[in-house]
């Protein structure tokens, strides 16, 4: 029985526009997603007979509280991904062990759980084909499965750069940026729950008119253009819930970053830098101030199998 390993990227929302609450209970969003080379890793191997799905979680370069916050029961997105794919493949869920190596901060607005689910969909598709003789689902079918599980999962499967509409799950691939981007990611002590941030957004009543993000992407030729158009409709809500984020943004910009914004529903602050060296220097300074910070870059591929 073969072990199968896959990785999937973190995301930042370069632009995140949020519409009104729909009758479905979701907000429609209009997002310009960018994948970063900070990757979750998922390995699937055969489990002991009769044990179902067993999960082990380890972290790399993350404070211990992030790993402790990851559930290892049915609520983990990787379990949901395996159950859904088993159903689609017409098989009983097999006895498997899933090892998750987390590098993306948990509850940080960077789609860590979604990246785990994306990597699991790709890995389990391969595992079931190799070990259980099932047909392989196509990329389209995997995107559809991801969309059923969570709004950010299709983008973690596709990677690179894309516009996401509806709940962020309807993706249009667009031309990649013509330059590399380097980011500092400043991680807060506590996480922010995505539903809480959206609830605050509704309370503040600030839904926006959606722009044509494909056209906007086409207007980005330089890193300065990109810095000028970064924006997140959820930023005010996240800052209202964690006022210290505003000071952190100012702090990072005063250290020389081109622009710092709340990533997705926060509280991670994503700061665009003019070079890798600048990103590393700012991250070092923040770490020296007791603020946990990482660096990451684009472009980054979507979920893929690792040798």
Question: Do residues 266 and 200 lie in contact, with contact meaning Cβ atoms separated by under 8 Å?
Answer: no
Using the rule CB under 6 A, is 59 a contact of ligand ATP? no
The residues facing 163 across adjacent strands are 32, 172
Integer Cα distance of 299 and 12 in angstroms: 12
Question: Do residues 122 and 42 lie in contact, with contact meaning Cβ atoms separated by under 8 Å?
Answer: no
At its nearest, how many Å lie between ligand ATP and the CB of residue 210? 20
- Give SS3 for 40: strand
Structure token digits, residue 10 = 């973190």
Residues 195-254 that bind ligand ATP (CB under 6 A): none
* Stretch touching ligand ATP by CB under 6 A, among 74-82, 83-91, 208-216, 237-245: 74-82
* Burial of 169 from C-beta contacts in 10 A (0-12 / 13-18 / 19+): buried
Using the rule CB under 6 A, is 184 a contact of ligand ATP? no
Question: Do residues 9 and 38 lie in contact, with contact meaning Cβ atoms separated by under 8 Å?
Answer: yes
Q: Which residues are catalytic?
A: 11, 152
> In this chain, which residue has its C-beta nearest to ligand ATP?
113
Residues 102-161 that bind ligand ATP (CB under 6 A): 106-114, 116, 152
* Stretch touching ligand ATP by CB under 6 A, among 29-37, 72-80, 157-165, 276-284: 72-80
Structure token digits, residue 85 = 């794919």
Residue with Cβ nearer ligand ATP (168 or 255): 168
Could you say which of 67, 69, 174, 301 contacts ligand ATP (CB under 6 A)? 69
Contacts to ligand ATP by CB under 6 A:
69-71, 75-78, 106-114, 116, 152, 194, 264-265
């Amino acid at each position: 029985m073969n072990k199968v390993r896959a990785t999937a990227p973190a995301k930042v929302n370069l632009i995140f526009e949020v519409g009104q609450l729909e009758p479905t209970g979701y907000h429609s969003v209009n997002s310009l997603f960018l994948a970063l080379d900070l990757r979750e890793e998922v390995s699937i191997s055969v489990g002991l007979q009769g044990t179902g799905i067993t999960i082990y979680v380890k972290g790399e370069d993350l404070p211990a509280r992030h790993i402790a916050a990851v559930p290892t029961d049915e609520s983990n997105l990787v379990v949901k991904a395996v159950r859904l794919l088993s159903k689609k493949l017409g098989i009983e869920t097999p006895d498997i062990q899933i090892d998750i190596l987390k590098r993306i901060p948990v509850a940080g607005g960077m789609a860590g759980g979604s990246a785990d689910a994306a990597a699991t969909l790709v890995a389990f598709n391969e595992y079931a084909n190799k070990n259980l003789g099932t047909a392989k689902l196509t990329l389209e079918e995997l995107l559809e499965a991801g969309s059923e599980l969570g709004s950010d999962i299709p983008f973690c499967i596709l990677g690179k750069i894309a516009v996401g509409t509806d709940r962020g799950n309807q993706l249009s691939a667009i031309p990649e940026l013509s330059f590399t981007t380097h980011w500092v990611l400043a991680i807060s002590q506590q996480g922010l729950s995505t539903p809480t941030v959206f609830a605050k957004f509704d309370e503040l009543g600030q839904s926006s008119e959606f722009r044509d993000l494909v056209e906007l992407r086409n207007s980005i030729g330089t890193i300065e253009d990109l810095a000028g158009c970064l924006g997140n409709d959820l930023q005010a809500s996240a800052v209202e819930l964690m006022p210290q984020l505003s000071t952190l943004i100012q702090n990072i910009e005063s250290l020389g970053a081109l622009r710092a914004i709340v990533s997705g529903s926060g509280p991670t602050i994503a700061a665009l830098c003019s070079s890798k060296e600048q990103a590393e220097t700012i991250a070092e300074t923040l770490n020296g101030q007791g603020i946990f910070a990482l660096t990451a870059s684009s472009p980054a591929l979507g979920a893929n199998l690792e040798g």
